[in-house]
Amino acid sequence: MTAEDVIDTVTALRAAAPQWAALPPAQRVRWLCRYRDWLLDHEPELAVSLQGETGKPWAEAHLETPYIVDAINYYGRLAPGQLRTARVARHGLLALGKSQLLNWQPYPVVGIITPWNFPLGLSLLDAVPALLAGATVAIKPSEVTPATVARAVRGWSEIGAPPVLSVCNGGAAVGAALVDNVDYVQFTGSSATGRAVARRAADRLIPCGLELGGKDAMIVLADADLERAANAAVWGAMANAGQMCTSVERVYVHADVIDRFVTLVTGKVGALRTGSDQQSYQVDVGPLITRDQYRIVSAQVEDALSKGAHAVTGGPGAAALDARSGVYPPTVLVGVDHSMSCMRDETFGPVLPVMRFSVDSEAIDLANDSRYGLSATIFSADIARAQRLASRLNTGAVNINDVFANLFTLALPQGGRGESGIGTRNGRHAIYKFCRPQAIVATRTPLRTELTWYPYGPLRGAIVHRIGRLIGGRDLARRLWR
């Protein structure tokens, strides 16, 4: 598409916005439920498309549609109650005789810009609460993976739904045009592009949500269940070939158990099947989606090795044997430290660096030594201790004895700190994110004038002054003192 095409798309959505917003929330829910059924009916087709675009293993290609179906069911239950006009309790004497209402009005057009690692899931996960809020939605998927999202958006039309969901395909110019024309922007992607989106949104004085990169840490305490911790670390680092903003990208293990942990992890990583499985469940880790990403992962591993780290499995030797396939071999690094880019910069690949610590405070300091703050994981047999440590981590979410668990808990918000973004997605109040609150105050028994209106005079001033002290004071002397 061209920038002019984007303008035409947004113009059409803006024309449809008033009628969609005017529908009772229950009617919007019914449309989303019909769309849920379409997604379920076409799930095999969408999975084939996802695998074709991304190279995901067949098992992972099936994960995105059920996630969106769950989101439709969850937010669909909440929408009618949350979007109902609410009567707000009056506060203070000045509100006597007045009714106070709170309305939620949707942004007319929401723009959603998403990356290539979860094309369908990340696009529709934000589109669902936005549509339920009453907004119209334009999705700009990555130019690397446009087809599955385009097919899913056509499904909205196929159920006969109002023309309030569109797709804008193209590169950076299309994304820029979308930011320049919508009323709210939700961006998921790199920190560098996120900054550009935020600057442009600020120039236009429109709000934006940014879900950016991560460098998630796992802390394994000496009392942890090492078998479960190792399984979690391997899946957390290698799922989707490590191409997740919430991938486990660095592990800090207590010195007393690190040797046992590394042995367990090395065996499990070494058993992973790599390649392209073509709908056969025969692969665990697929190829990286782009050659640029392959180069980034290779450079980080080589940087670590040049500074004294050691690859106990995987690494550049194995990578050289498989480079043409785009599969970077799942790699475990030991002897790492924070001078290495694999411990500082987002990897977005199947690399698991493991570093030792001696005391809890050291682990917390290491985990917090990052410009990112998306999520983290702690493994310990002592839940109370883990919770105390979790409160000291500078991240938006912490999983205890688990990995990615917060992503599947739609009732809790997902957001980051630092370079991991601004705002949140998911959470019980996700629908409100795409709405603007409107306060309506009505005087039920209007007089000709009010004490605070003109004309000013000594008597009115004294009365207003006395009322202010009676309302604000919390002891007799201050209420009565002149």
Q: Which CATH number fits the domain that encloses residue 104?
A: 3.40.605.10
Q: What is the pLDDT of residue 464?
A: 87
> Which residues are known to be catalytic?
211
Is 249 in the same domain as 148? no
Angle at which helix 64-82 crosses helix 25-41, to 10 degrees, equals: 170
In a shared domain, residues 27 and 151: yes
Q: Which residues are paired to 399 by β-bridges?
A: 377
Q: What is the CATH number of the domain that holds 320?
A: 3.40.309.10
Task: Note whether 179 and 242 are same-domain residues.
Answer: no
How does pLDDT run across 455-481, given as a tens digit for each residue? 999 999 998 888 888 888 888 888 887
Residue 152 maps to a domain: yes
Looking at the 3D structure of the chain, how many domains does it have?
Answer: 3
Task: Please provide residue 225's backbone torsions phi and psi, each rounded to the nearest 5 degrees.
Answer: -75, 100
What pLDDT sits at residue 320?
A: 57
Q: Which residue in 322, 317, 321, 313 sits closest to 288, CA to CA?
A: 322
Give the SS3 label for residue 376: strand
Q: Would 419 be classed as within a structural domain?
A: no
In angstroms, the CA 201 to CA 197 distance is 6
The answer on 120 and 238 residing in a single domain is: no
Same structural domain, 127 and 10: yes
Q: Are 200 and 262 in a shared domain?
A: no
Q: Which of 258, 260, 253, 257 is nearest to 363 (CA)?
A: 253
| Contact between residue 201 and residue 207 where contact means Cβ atoms under 8 Å apart | yes
Q: Are residues 243 and 387 in the same domain?
A: yes
Domain that includes residue 208, residue range:
3-212+425-436
Residue 440, classified by CB atoms within 10 Å of its CB into exposed (0-12), middle (13-18) or buried (19+), is exposed
Return the amino acid letter for 162. Answer: P
Same domain, 224 and 168: no
Q: In angstroms, rounded to a whole number, what is the distance separating the alpha carbons of residues 390 and 175?
A: 37
Residue 137: what pLDDT?
Answer: 98
Residue 441 counted as domain residue: no
- Give alpha helix (H) positions in 271-359: 291-306, 316-322, 341-344
Task: Look up residue 477 and give its two tokens.
Answer: 């002397």
Rounded CA-CA distance 248/265 in Å is: 13
Collapse the DSSP code of 218 into the 3-class scheme (helix H, G, I; strand E, B; otherwise coil) and give the result.
strand
466 inside domain: yes
Same domain, residue pair 202 and 242: no
Pair 297, 173 in one domain: no
Regions of the chain with pLDDT less than 70: 318-323, 482
Residue 415, domain member (yes or no): no
End-to-end CA distance of the chain: 70
pTM of the model: 0.95
At 107 the three-state DSSP class reads: coil
Question: Does 47 lie in the same domain as 9?
Answer: yes
Query: Do residues 109 and 48 both lie within one domain?
Result: yes
In a domain, 416, yes or no: no
- How is 449-463 classified by DSSP, letter by letter? --TTSSSP-HHHHHH
Residue 206 domain-assigned (yes or no): yes
SS3 332: strand
Q: Is residue 442 part of a domain?
A: no
Cβ 334 vs Cβ 366: under 8 Å: no
Close Cβ partners of 160 (under 8 Å, ≥ 6 residues apart): none
